[in-house]
Amino acid sequence: MINKNSISLNKLLRTLTESEFERLSPYFQEVNLTSGAILHEAYEPIEVVYFPLTAMISLVSIMEDGSTTEIGLVGNEGMIGLPVFLGGEYTISRAIVQMKGKSLKMRSDVLVREFKEAGALQKILLLHTQARLTQIAQSAACNRQHKIEARLARWLLSVYDCVLQDELDLTQEFISNMLGVRRAGVTIAAKALQDKGIIRYNRGKILILDHKKLEQTSCECYRIVQNEFIRLLGSCRG
């Protein structure tokens, strides 16, 4: 049985009442997620949902030519498997573990049953869905309107919020795939941030040196999403 300490690492689950915790805890299983693991594929039924504790998971759109763009980033503020309780059964994106870590998982049918009880879990999942829609919509606007340097700063802040680590294992190729831009653009943007003393980049590792300057360099999209998580869920990401 999962203990309260594990559940409290996920910001959605820590809102459970004592009675909800007692009812749900037997159905949770704590797992170690490895980088590159696919939690669910596009157009395939979602049979298991995940509540990350320390792992970072990307929702990725895949084009016919194999190119990818990240459309969502999920850490301990949320869950993977929204279509399950919304009634859609599957989604058109892939959920892939980008940074290894721990997560809780649960069978989808159990979550659906608990969601239909219309308790606190239902309310928090619906509010989380709205916050995620804001994140996805703002990312779409950001990709169209803002320069790569600002977008990279926003994305690095979001990654930090998921894993709470200053040293990040991120190659330029991986970042370019997630941001949907050419690798050369990421190289230029990363160098600009390094020249300003905001990050240090070397051989697939990025070290965040100055969070305040990184947020100042980021576009307004990061703050908009953070404010919406605070408004809806009572706490920011990270």
For residue 80, tell me if it sits in a domain.
yes
40 alpha-carbon distance from chain centroid = 15
Task: Kindly report the number of other CB atoms within 10 A of residue 238's CB atom.
Answer: 17
Can you give the residue range of the structural domain that contains 113?
4-140
The pLDDT tens digits of the residues spanning 86-116 come to 998 899 999 999 889 999 999 999 999 989 9
Same domain, 73 and 122: yes
Same domain, 136 and 43: yes
On the question of pLDDT at 20 being above 70, the answer is yes
Q: How confident is the model at residue 141 (pLDDT cuts 50, 70, 90)?
A: confident
On the question of pLDDT at 45 being above 90, the answer is yes
- The number of distinct structural domains making up the chain is 2
For residue 228, tell me if it sits in a domain.
no
Same domain, 79 and 23: yes
Q: Which residues of 189-215 are buried (b: 16+ CB within 10 A; e: fewer)?
A: bbebbbeeebbebeeeebebeeeebbb
For residue 97, tell me if it sits in a domain.
yes
For residue 81, tell me if it sits in a domain.
yes
Q: How confident is the model at residue 152 (pLDDT cuts 50, 70, 90)?
A: very high
For residue 25, tell me if it sits in a domain.
yes
For residue 59, tell me if it sits in a domain.
yes
For residue 231, tell me if it sits in a domain.
no
Same domain, 21 and 102: yes
Among 85, 120, 140, the domain boundary falls at 140
**Domain of residue 82, CATH code:** 2.60.120.10
Residue spans of alpha helices (H) in 102-202? 108-115, 120-145, 148-163, 172-179, 183-195
**Domain of residue 159, CATH code:** 1.10.10.10
Among 140, 166, 196, the domain boundary falls at 140
pTM reported for the whole predicted model: 0.87
Rg from Cα positions in the chain: 18
Token pair recorded at residue 233: 């869920």
